Structure 1
Amino acid sequence: MSDTRTRIAAGLERAFAEHGFAAPSVGDLRDAAGVSLRTLYKYAPSREEMVHAALEHRHQRYLEKVFGDLPEAGDDALAEIFDRIGAWMGTESARGCLFHAAVAAAPQDKRLIALLQEHKGEVAQLAAKSGGLEGREVELMLILEGLTQTWPLHGSHAIASANRMSTALRQAPLPPTLSAA
């Protein structure tokens, strides 16, 4: 991604995270991106493209922050993932998941729905691989989503609960449909 495209996407991400998807005017988005209106429209020719650019940028930042330089696979890796998600929530996402908020603002946008599915699916796959729980992606997605939804209300208690749930998941046998695969 070019420096200009990255700067625009980062500014758009910040604007949407701080003000939601309906409130910022195009002028506000231009100011947040730190470019002229012409340059903004060159890289993101519509509001929908601006939202998509912001979410794609957020996806990459999230993956780097949560999954970069993890300890060896297993309980330690999952505990670190949960801690990092808590830190992310505290600094980047105190109002909840930006992907869910985008879909809530435009529930008919199939591309946004696909971005949400791709983001959540990749996060669950990386968590399963890092935690040595391949085949348990759906269960991990439930734990991860529960963590991001309860963190604003319970903070570190939500992280501790996610750790307990992942320990129980590790000890539970695979359901027959998954263990046969």
Structure 2
Amino acid sequence: MDKTDALTFAAERLFDRNGYTATGMDRLTQAAGMSSRTLYKHVGSKAALMGRVLATRDRRFMESIEVKSVDALFSAIGDWVRAEGARGCLFLRSLAETGGETPEIAAAVTAHKTAFRRRIHEIVAVDLGHDDQVLAEQILVLAEGATHAAVYRGVAAVSSARSAACLLVEARR
């Protein structure tokens, strides 16, 4: 793992646990085991680092939902919550913290949410055997809601959303 990857990994853990604003550069340099000069040389700024963190997280998450059914989607989201923790969506939390005013963060969030929406539409189309825009949007809302409800309900929120999603899919068959 090179220095930039190590920094990204350390930063993701800190940003996810403490938030973007509360994570200072001193904590980042300490966690990555590098000087602030080296940190800035490799990533440029805290906002650029957060953009990198979000892009890396997006790749991992999207790989985790390479599935062919709505049921498998919610299973994968449940696995993600168990592995990553139930703190809600890092993308939306970072956007809320910065008020959408940090271009690197806003761009990463927009890219992720666009890809996530597209992926859900693909999963629904494969599962049903045809496109269903309305159902895909309903599944999207259930998936997003389950991620946030998991903050206070744990993975049980994902299980409840999974049950509701399966009922919706069966009603559309």
Query: TM-score scaled by structure 1?
Result: 0.77
Counterpart in the other structure of 2:65: 67
Counterpart in the other structure of 1:34: 33
Unaligned 5+ segments in structure 1 are 174-181
Q: How does 1:1-181 map to 2 (within 5 A)?
A: 3-64=2-63, 66-68=64-66, 70=67, 73-74=68-69, 78-107=70-99, 108-131=101-124, 132=126, 134=131, 135=133, 136-171=135-170
Instruction: Report the Cα distance in structure 2 between the residues aligned to 1:25 and 1:160, rounded to whole angstroms.
Output: 36
Instruction: Report the Cα distance in structure 2 between the residues aligned to 1:58 and 1:137, rounded to whole angstroms.
Output: 23
Contact 1:95 1:152 in 2 (8 A): yes
Q: Report the Cα offset of residue 171 of structure 1.
A: 4.4
Identity of aligned residues (%): 28
Q: Whose RCO is larger (CA < 8 A, sep 6+)?
A: 2
Q: Report the Cα offset of residue 172 of structure 1.
A: 5.2
Unaligned 5+ segments in structure 2 are none
The one-letter code sitting in structure 2 at the alignment partner of 1:28 is R
Counterpart in the other structure of 1:177: none
Q: Report the Cα offset of residue 156 of structure 1.
A: 4.2
With over 3 angstroms needed to count, the CA separation of the structure-2 counterparts of 1:121 and 1:93, relative to structure 1, is farther
Q: Report the Cα offset of residue 22 of structure 1.
A: 1.9
Q: Report the Cα offset of residue 109 of structure 1.
A: 2.4
* 3-state DSSP of counterpart to 1:35: coil
The one-letter code sitting in structure 1 at the alignment partner of 2:79 is A
The one-letter code sitting in structure 1 at the alignment partner of 2:110 is Q
With over 3 angstroms needed to count, the CA separation of the structure-2 counterparts of 1:49 and 1:166, relative to structure 1, is same
Instruction: Report the Cα distance in structure 1 between the residues aligned to 2:109 and 2:30, rounded to whole angstroms.
Output: 26
Name the Cα RMSD after superposition.
2.5
Instruction: Report the Cα distance in structure 2 between the residues aligned to 1:165 and 1:93, rounded to whole angstroms.
Output: 22
Q: Report the Cα offset of residue 13 of structure 1.
A: 0.7
Contact 2:65 2:77 in 1 (8 A): no
With over 3 angstroms needed to count, the CA separation of the structure-2 counterparts of 1:19 and 1:86, relative to structure 1, is same
Contact 1:14 1:32 in 2 (8 A): no
The one-letter code sitting in structure 1 at the alignment partner of 2:72 is E
Instruction: Report the Cα distance in structure 2 between the residues aligned to 1:103 and 1:85, rounded to whole angstroms.
Output: 21
Q: Which has the higher helix share?
A: 2
Q: Could you give the per-residue CA deviations for residues 96-122 of structure 1, whole angstroms, max 9, x where no partner exists?
A: 111111111111224423322221221
